[in-house]
């Protein structure tokens, strides 16, 4: 049962980790290029054409990202304004994550914004009221000292087009706008904050990462998805390993059942031991009998646990029997606990089960059987 529990727990952690990665990857690109010094860089200093020609690169999206104040009617909120070009839709597939409205950023000379569902709730945005725009305010970096505080800010109006739902951290603070809108309000005619690169399926990420890094030099940093969310991945990995160690400790405690069962078996069969000795069996051969029997107990228990744990996870993965209780009538991106079976987990669990089983059986046979090896009928 402990083996099955370990498989189930690790598979649930795999499921949540895969779910989080999927959600974050909607916003996080395969590769992210940023300036090594400062917030922005001049796009004219980047060999964009050469990057796009690298084998495996699908598209490159130009990004301007900055904090801003957004006002809608009497409501206002500090948000992260993200200006994107037309390639962002292909890179992120954000249009598939829309809850209301549509993914639309431009229409002729008109600019539109899409925003997270959390931003929509905070500002009480009514998308159907097309005459009521969002007002975006950012500091004017060219403004000097002025008695009028309004001169210290640039402001532009933009129409709401729809809301998306990706992950709470993104939903509560991101507003996506056209790149031209961000360039105008921030006064960044040729400056960007990052380049987001999408790769083709089965592309060799590490090789492309190295090629781009060599091409750009030390003035730029190139981050893969792990490096973009390094802390998150480290926390998830640490949590999984902590749970693995805790359940392994429980498995060690459960191994005492095997030791006690084998000890009672040796005690009960002490007369049989004497018979084997009388028939010419050596002490080593007698020990091997109980050693093999103990290992068979560990093997059968381990394989049975792996099988039952795998069946439980398969049922949950296929039918979602155990539901997520979000409380207060809330909803999550999935209704049931996500699970993901990985072969490495099975091998790791089987290895630790057999190691603990062998150690416990060997210790028992060495300590107990010696008391009866020299008995005679």
Q: What is the pLDDT of residues 116-145, one digit of tens each?
A: 999 999 999 987 777 789 999 998 876 655
In this model, does residue 16 exceed pLDDT 90? no
**Considering Cα of 237, then 321, then 254, then 272, what sign does the dihedral take?**
negative
Secondary structure of residue 339 in the 3-state scheme: coil
In this model, does residue 254 exceed pLDDT 90? no
Inter-residue contact 145 to 95 (CB < 8 Å): no
In this model, does residue 333 exceed pLDDT 80? no
Give the confidence band of 67 by pLDDT, cuts at 50, 70, 90: very high
Q: How far apart are CA 68 and CA 242, in angstroms?
A: 40
The predicted pLDDT at position 44 comes to 92
Give the confidence band of 34 by pLDDT, cuts at 50, 70, 90: very high
Q: How far apart are CA 245 and CA 229, in angstroms?
A: 25
Inter-residue contact 104 to 160 (CB < 8 Å): no
User: Length of the chain, please?
Assistant: 377
Residue 322, both tokens = 């155990």
Tokens 């190691």 found at: 355
In this model, does residue 212 exceed pLDDT 80? yes
More confident residue, 175 or 22: 175
The predicted pLDDT at position 309 comes to 92
The predicted pLDDT at position 167 comes to 81
Give the confidence band of 377 by pLDDT, cuts at 50, 70, 90: very low
Does the global pTM surpass 0.75? Answer: no
Q: With both helix axes pointing from N to C terminus, report the angle between 230-268 and 283-319 in degrees, rounded to the nearest 10.
A: 140
The predicted pLDDT at position 178 comes to 96
The predicted pLDDT at position 124 comes to 92
What are the distances in angstroms from CA 26 to CA 196, 246, 331?
12, 33, 19
The answer for residues whose C-beta is within 8 angstroms of residue 30's C-beta and 6 or more apart is: 197, 198, 199, 203, 205, 224, 225
The answer for residues whose C-beta is within 8 angstroms of residue 82's C-beta and 6 or more apart is: 63, 64, 65, 174, 175, 176, 177, 182
Show me where the domains of the chain are located: 2-15+232-371, 29-228
What does the pLDDT average to over 183-211?
94
In this model, does residue 328 exceed pLDDT 60? no
CA angle 123-129-134, nearest 5°? 45
Give CB contacts under 8 A, 24+ apart, made by 254-258: 254/2, 255/356, 255/357, 255/359, 255/360, 256/360, 258/294, 258/297, 258/298, 258/301, 258/357, 258/360, 258/361, 258/364
In this model, does residue 325 exceed pLDDT 70? no
The predicted pLDDT at position 76 comes to 94
The predicted pLDDT at position 197 comes to 95
| Residue (of 55, 57, 53, 49) closest to 31 by Cα position | 57
The predicted pLDDT at position 369 comes to 55
Inter-residue contact 14 to 345 (CB < 8 Å): yes
The predicted pLDDT at position 329 comes to 47
Average pLDDT, the chain: 85
54-58, 83-87, 270-274: least confidently modelled range: 270-274
The predicted pLDDT at position 224 comes to 92
| Residue (of 87, 61, 25, 36) closest to 213 by Cα position | 36
Secondary structure of residue 39 in the 3-state scheme: coil
In this model, does residue 355 exceed pLDDT 80? yes
What does the pLDDT average to over 294-320?
89
In this model, does residue 175 exceed pLDDT 60? yes
109-118, 210-219, 281-290, 362-371: least confidently modelled range: 362-371
The predicted pLDDT at position 129 comes to 79
Secondary structure of residue 202 in the 3-state scheme: coil
């Amino acid at each position: 049962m402990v083996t099955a529990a370990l498989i189930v727990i690790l598979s649930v952690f795999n499921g949540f980790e895969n779910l989080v990665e999927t959600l974050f990857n909607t916003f996080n690109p395969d590769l992210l290029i940023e300036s090594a010094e400062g917030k922005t860089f001049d796009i004219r200093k980047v060999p964009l054409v050469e990057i796009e020609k690298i084998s495996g690169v699908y598209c490159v999206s130009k990004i301007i990202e900055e904090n801003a104040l957004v006002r809608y009617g009497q409501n206002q909120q500090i948000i992260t304004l993200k200006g994107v070009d037309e390639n962002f839709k292909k890179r992120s597939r954000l249009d598939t994550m829309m809850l209301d409205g549509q993914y639309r950023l431009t229409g002729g000379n008109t600019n539109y914004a899409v925003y997270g569902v959390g931003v929509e709730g905070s500002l009480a945005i009514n998308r159907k009221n097309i005459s009521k725009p969002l007002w975006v305010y950012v500091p004017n970096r060219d403004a000097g000292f002025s008695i009028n505080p309004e001169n210290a800010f640039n402001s532009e109006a933009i129409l709401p087009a729809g809301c998306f739902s990706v992950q709470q951290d993104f939903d509560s603070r991101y507003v996506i706008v056209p790149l031209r809108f961000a360039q105008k309000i921030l006064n960044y005619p040729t400056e960007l904050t990052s380049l987001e690169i999408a790769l083709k399926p089965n592309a060799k990420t590490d090789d492309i990462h190295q090629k781009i890094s060599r091409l750009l030099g030390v003035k730029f940093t190139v981050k893969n998805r792990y490096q973009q969310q390094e802390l998150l991945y480290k926390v998830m990995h640490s949590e999984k390993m902590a749970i693995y160690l805790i359940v392994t400790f429980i498995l060690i405690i459960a191994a005492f059942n095997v030791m006690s069962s084998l000890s009672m078996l040796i005690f009960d069969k002490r007369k049989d031991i004497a018979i084997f000795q009388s028939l010419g069996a050596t002490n080593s051969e007698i020990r091997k009998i109980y050693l093999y029997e103990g290992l068979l107990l560990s093997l059968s228990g381990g394989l049975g646990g792996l099988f039952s744990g795998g069946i439980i996870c398969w049922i949950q993965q296929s039918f979602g029997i155990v539901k997520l209780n979000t409380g207060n009538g809330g909803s999550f991106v999935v209704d049931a606990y996500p699970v993901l079976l990985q072969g490495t987990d099975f091998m790791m669990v089987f290895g630790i089960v057999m190691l603990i089983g062998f150690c416990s059986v060997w210790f028992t046979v060495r300590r107990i059987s010696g008391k009866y090896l020299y008995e005679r009928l």
